[in-house]
Amino acid sequence: MPVRCGAYEIVAPISSGAMGAVYRARHLGTGKEVALKRLLRRAATRRFEIEARLLATLDHPRVVRVLDHFDHDGDHFLVMELVDGPSLAQLLSERGAPGLPVHEAVDYAREACEALAYVHEQHVVHRDVKPENLILGRDGIVLVDFGIAREDRVGAEGTAAIGTPGYMAPEVIGGSVSPRSDVFGVAATLWTLIAGEPPRYGESVALDVDAHLYVALRAGLELDPNRRTASAEAFAAAIGARLTPPVGSPLAITVQEPGMPATLMEAVVRAAAGVFEAGAASLALLDPFTGELVYEAAWGPSAAEVLGMRIGPGVGLAGAVAASGVGEAVPDCHSDARFAAAVAAGTGYVPSTMLIVPLRRSGSTVGVLQVLDRRDGEGYGPDDVERATAFADLALMAVDMQRSGRDTVAP
């Protein structure tokens, strides 16, 4: 008998792992089939919502589309596009002898690196790269089943690290996750596709490939992340694979004619999101004529809705910081009387916690930098204000230097 789960009916199991089970499901209203992931560990709701909302903004042909998320009977569910096709694990099981042809395996790894290069640029780490999570669709490899809402603390049940033995980087066991963790996963996946079985930690087993590829694989499988190949792009280059030009949608965008150089503004909000592990970030400048804050760059969910928005002098938490010239960490936006909830609701993104610092030039405030919702679900604090203030000062200095350089260039 089919099992109902919220607005969905579970049709059949697809896979299960340490952090969740994935099912083929059907929407009760539209009949559309999707992949439904139920998290087996009940992570904090705030953390789950922040990460799920961020995943839903990813847009790349090699990355599965996250359609929705919801809670049901105390469990968290992620709704993903259903990608038709076999996983690389299935392909290996059906055709491996014991592995696949080297050139074919390298091509699959290249396409996986295209997906990883995109998600890492958006400050997203997959955390569970393995053959089961790489589906061979109609147009090539699609990366599916992101590990989300990880629990890094050690408690009564130990460290709840996301990953699969054989493909999980050693540092993940201790709760440390970074893009280099995914590099280990894609290197272990390529090794498996060639050898027919995953590598063992620290073992230098011979592999029937040319010396250059073997060295690249060993570099991708370094146990020490500081000695490991640094990025998915670098790993692709090391295995002799050329990535296609970027085709995904970036999470950082700017207005058409911003008051600062567009590419630099995008870099500022993107870097702020990464440095402060935020679910979203934005930059607003003061209109010298009206005193309004004008949002000219944004990163993350609802960035397009935030871009170009104007808020009146002193309105909301951002307006208060612009007026006072003093940065603030707001651990709970909803309990702060200054929070402009209606304005936030209009963008489609209502944050739980916020960090706002002024952009100051020659003693005067010229704008504000905001980061929203720490990815771990915790609130920002005084130490974050100090760091963010220094970050904003450096960012404005870089902008002024670039402006000065442009102004001195002859037409």
pLDDT (tens digit per residue) in 35-46? 998 876 655 677
For residue 177, CA distances in Å to 87, 182, 183, 294, 362 come to 24, 9, 11, 35, 40
pLDDT class for 403, splitting at 50, 70, 90? low
E strands in 269-325 = 278-286, 293-299, 310-311
List the domain boundaries for the chain: 3-81, 88-238, 252-407
Domain 88-238, classified CATH 1.10.510.10, yes or no: yes
pLDDT class for 411, splitting at 50, 70, 90? very low
Say what the pLDDT of residue 44 is: 65
Residue whose entry in the numeric block shows the structure tokens 């010298």: 288
Q: Do domains 3-81 and 252-407 have the same CATH topology?
A: no
Sequence-separated (6 or more) residues with CB below 8 Å from residue 374: 50, 276, 277, 278, 279, 353, 380
The CATH homologous superfamily to which domain 252-407 belongs is GAF domain (3.30.450.40)
Say what the pLDDT of residue 249 is: 76
Whether 322 has a pLDDT exceeding 70, the answer reads yes
Please state, in angstroms and rounded to a whole number, the distance separating the CA atoms of residues 323 and 310.
Answer: 15
Q: Higher model confidence: residue 342 or residue 152?
A: 342
Length of the chain: 411
pLDDT class for 1, splitting at 50, 70, 90? low
Whether 144 has a pLDDT exceeding 90, the answer reads yes
Our answer to whether residue 128 is catalytic in this structure is yes
pLDDT (tens digit per residue) in 69-106? 988 888 888 999 999 899 999 999 999 999 999 999 99
Count of CB atoms situated within 10 Å of the CB of 409: 6
DSSP state of 378: P
Give this prediction's pTM. 0.83
Percent of the chain residues past pLDDT 70, beyond the cut: 89
Q: Which of 71, 73, 107, 128 is catalytic?
A: 128
Say what the pLDDT of residue 39 is: 79
Residue whose entry in the numeric block shows the structure tokens 């390298």: 106
Whether 276 has a pLDDT exceeding 50, the answer reads yes
At the topology level of CATH, where does 3-81 sit?
Phosphorylase Kinase; domain 1 (3.30.200)
Over residues 271-297, the mean pLDDT reads: 93
Mean pLDDT of all residues in the chain? 87
